[in-house]
Amino acid sequence: MRPFTYVRAHEVGTALAEAEADSRADFLAGGTTQLDLMKDGVLRPDRLIDITRLPLHGIEERQGALIVGALVTMEELAADPVAGRRLPLVREALLRSASVQLRNMATIGGNLLQRTRCRYFRDPTVAACNKRDRGSGCAAVHGSHRTHAVLGTSEHCIATHASDVAVTLVALDAVVHISGAAGDRKVPLTGFYRTPGDTPDVENDLRPGELIAAVEIPLLPEGARSDYLKVRDRSSYEFALASAAVAVGLGADRRIEWARVGLGGVATVPWRAVEAEAVLTGSPADGEVFASAAAAAVAGAEPRPQNAFKVDLAQRTLVRTLQTVTGAGS
């Protein structure tokens, strides 16, 4: 790890001023990605601004939404009674992530900003990584890419976004509250992430020196059915090969009145499957509709030799989740 200066901020304004004064400074919250990548030499900040003591630890229910402070830990949000009752898929996604120790450290703001697990990105001895060094190439495209993405990829980067909870949050139309020296703003999470294109190093809408202050999660309506299903190589403490976040409203005639679908483990960003939602909305909850929705979700997939199985796996994961939430078509 390269030497750095450590400073601790107690107010948001102080943290933003520290960041504005030094373009080579990074914020430090839970540290589970930041310190790991600093040890590996991938991140090399001159200065770490410890934000863990900022007053961004609260969870508040306001006007049909849960406002979650950026420094709320994954375990804290999973234990929140309102989240458990009204956002059960969020709770499920959190509890299927990482380990308890990591969830006690990792914050919600940090989770949204976590970096990919692509082994080439995390290994600076590999020269070709457009995410680390724009224009250097992508070692994964012709290398080991079994765990890499099939949706939202480009020839420049196929790294998977690893977050579970962000998949549920894009499905739920969560909004990111951002603070910056130039002012505060709100961005829908679906518009927050950037697919790699020819600039894989640009991962989201955050500008230099800006800080996520909170995440606003609209609560599901009473009676909504939802679930998060994660499929992986082992049953615990592992990243998703494919995952599905589903919430639907089911009418008395068993027609799907509305649907929200997110996919994880298969895309370069937490993936909102609007094509699947269009198929589901207004359709009967049955196996044929589920299969059509799943096919629509992966219609744009660009599989490669080692990850082609994810196209099938993502569809099966989505169909299974739809069966579970509707109790139909199994």
Partner 1 sequence: MTLQAKPHAEESLPQTEFTLRVNGRDHPLRTDARLTLLDALHDRLGLTGTKKGCDQGTCGACTVHVDGRRVLSCLTLAAQCDEREIATVEGLGTEDELHPVQRAFLEHDAFQCGYCTPGQIMSALGLMAEGRAGSPDEIREYMSGNICRCGAYQNIVAAIRDVAGTEDGGRADDVPQAEGGRP
How many whole angstroms separate alpha carbon 148 and alpha carbon 269?
11
Which of 29, 313 has the CB closer to partner 1?
29
Min. distance of Cβ 83 from partner 1 in angstroms?
Answer: 17
- Residue 90 binding partner 1, by CB under 8 A: no
Min. distance of Cβ 73 from partner 1 in angstroms?
Answer: 8
Phi and psi, residue 297, nearest 5° = -65, -35
How many whole angstroms separate alpha carbon 108 and alpha carbon 75?
10
Name the token pair of 148. Answer: 């890499």
Which of 34, 268 has the CB closer to partner 1?
34
- Residue 32 binding partner 1, by CB under 8 A: yes
Which of 282, 243, 276 has the alpha carbon at shortest distance from 260?
276
- Residue 75 binding partner 1, by CB under 8 A: yes
Q: Which of residues 254-293 bind partner 1 (CB under 8 A)?
A: none
For 109, half-sphere exposure in the C-beta direction (CA atoms, 13 angstrom radius) is 28
Min. distance of Cβ 3 from partner 1 in angstroms?
Answer: 5
Which of 59, 279 has the CB closer to partner 1?
59
Q: Provide the pairing of β-strand 59-62 with 65-69.
A: antiparallel
Which helix (H) or strand (E) element contains residue 62? strand 59-62
Cα distances (angstroms) measured from residue 301 to each of 210, 281, 310, 311: 33, 22, 9, 7
Tell me how many residues contact partner 1 (CB under 8 A): 27
How many whole angstroms separate alpha carbon 149 and alpha carbon 301?
9
Min. distance of Cβ 258 from partner 1 in angstroms?
Answer: 33
Which of 5, 144 has the CB closer to partner 1?
5
- Residue 3 binding partner 1, by CB under 8 A: yes
Which letter does DSSP use for residue 46 in this model?
Answer: S
Q: CB under 8 A: which stretch of 31-39, 243-251, 284-292, 305-313 binds partner 1?
A: 31-39
Q: Provide the pairing of β-strand 47-50 with 25-28.
A: parallel
The answer to whether 60 and 67 have CB atoms below 8 angstroms apart is yes
Among 19, 43, 48, 74, binds partner 1 (CB under 8 A): 48
Among 16, 19, 28, 224, binds partner 1 (CB under 8 A): 28
Which of 28, 94 has the CB closer to partner 1?
28
- Residue 14 binding partner 1, by CB under 8 A: no
Q: How many CB atoms lie within 10 A of CB 135?
A: 10
Phi and psi, residue 112, nearest 5° = -65, -30
- Residue 100 binding partner 1, by CB under 8 A: yes
Q: Which of residues 107-166 bind partner 1 (CB under 8 A)?
A: none
Min. distance of Cβ 25 from partner 1 in angstroms?
Answer: 13
Which of 6, 252 has the CB closer to partner 1?
6
Phi and psi, residue 29, nearest 5° = -115, -110
Min. distance of Cβ 79 from partner 1 in angstroms?
Answer: 9
- Residue 309 binding partner 1, by CB under 8 A: no
Phi and psi, residue 257, nearest 5° = -80, -40
Residues that bind partner 1 (CB under 8 A): 1, 3-6, 8, 28, 31-32, 35-36, 39-40, 48, 50, 52, 75, 98-102, 104-105, 235-237
